[in-house]
Amino acid sequence: MAQSFFKFVLVENGVIIWQAFTVTGTLTLGIRICHTNGMENRKSQIIRYTESLIQHKGYAAFSYDDLAKHFGVTKASIHYHFEKKEDLGLSVLERLYQRLAEFSSRVAVSQEPVEEKLVRFTKLQMEEFADNVICPISSLQADFELLPDSMKEKLQAISRLELSVMQDIISDRTSCLKTDSRAVALAVLAAIKGSLQYRRVISENFLPDILNGICRILTKP
């Protein structure tokens, strides 16, 4: 009699198919329906924690071992959700992109003054920041040459979107000041993100002063 062993295969919509593998082929034994909400939650948890690792250590410096230790599981459990580190990196980038895109939609219809928009942008980018971490986009940009091509392409799209969002935030004021909005947007982003870098190194929070200075310049009559 041919030897066989059993394996389950997870299919879409929570369907699990049990299969028997033999030397003569594969026989489907049955189908069982199960709820996968817990697995989806774990997948989201992995993405969120990976973003945190990127902020603390950078993309190149963290490993699946870091994730396995944090969640108290085997590395195989992490690979179950994300076969390759590149797949996980792309999921983190997609999360960052969607967060910016949703904010961009709100800015487009907002009647708030530039000061309020800048505060909201900063809160969006810093909502999960601890005292010693930096912007995840900045961290990934620093590792750009080490990223797979697929992640480079996505990060470029996010960087363009972030710059576009900042241009939209300050557009009214730069038109009044007759200043190139793209150049000012780059300067504002560099100042905000740079303050996080300095906070990490010398433990001083310059961001409030940075935002006040930017707002004074942009709202100057």
- DSSP-assigned states of every residue in 83-94: SSHHHHHHHHHH
What pLDDT, on a 0 to 100 scale, did the predictor assign at position 75?
A: 95
Q: Read off the pLDDT of each residue in 42-48 and give the average, rounded to a whole number.
A: 94
- How buried is residue 129: exposed, middle or buried, by Cβ count under 10 Å (0-12/13-18/19+)? middle
Q: For residues 46, 87, 100 and 140, what is the CA-based torsion angle, rounded to 10 degrees? A: 90
State which amino acid sits at residue 43: K
The helices-and-strands tally (H runs, E runs) of the chain is 9, 3
Pairwise CA distance, residues 175 & 162, whole Å: 19
Q: What are the CB-based long-range contacts (under 8 Å, 24+) for 9-16?
A: 10/36
Instruction: Tell me if the pTM is above 0.85.
Output: no
pLDDT at 112: 83
164-216 pLDDT, tens digit per residue, is: 999 988 887 665 666 778 888 999 999 988 888 888 888 888 888 888 888 88
Residue 35 has pLDDT above 60, yes or no: no
- Strand partners of residue 17: 9, 31
Query: Which of 2-11, 35-44, 128-137, 194-203 has the highest mean predicted lDDT (pLDDT)?
Result: 194-203
Maximal C-alpha separation, the chain: 89
pLDDT at 32: 38
The confidence score (pLDDT) of residue 5 equals 42
In this prediction, residue 4 has a pLDDT band, given cuts at 50, 70 and 90, of: very low
Please report which helix (H) or strand (E) contains residue 20, including its range: strand 15-22
List 31's β-bridge partners, or say none. 17
Residues of the chain with pLDDT > 90, as a percent, come to 43
- Name the token pair of 193: 């993100």
The mean predicted confidence, pLDDT, of the chain is 80
Q: Residue range 112-133: average pLDDT? A: 73
Among 135, 171, 178, 175, smallest CA distance to 155 is for: 135
Residue-wise pLDDT for 56-68, tens only, equals 899 999 999 999 9
User: Of 180 and 83, which is predicted with more confidence?
Assistant: 83
DSSP-based three-state secondary structure for 170? helix
**Higher pLDDT residue, 155 or 192?**
155
Nearest Cα neighbor of 55 from 120, 148, 4, 131 is 131
DSSP 8-state class, residue 10: E
pLDDT tens digits, one per residue of 6-31: 344 444 334 333 344 444 444 433 43
Task: Tell me the C-alpha distance between 58 and 175, whole Å.
Answer: 37
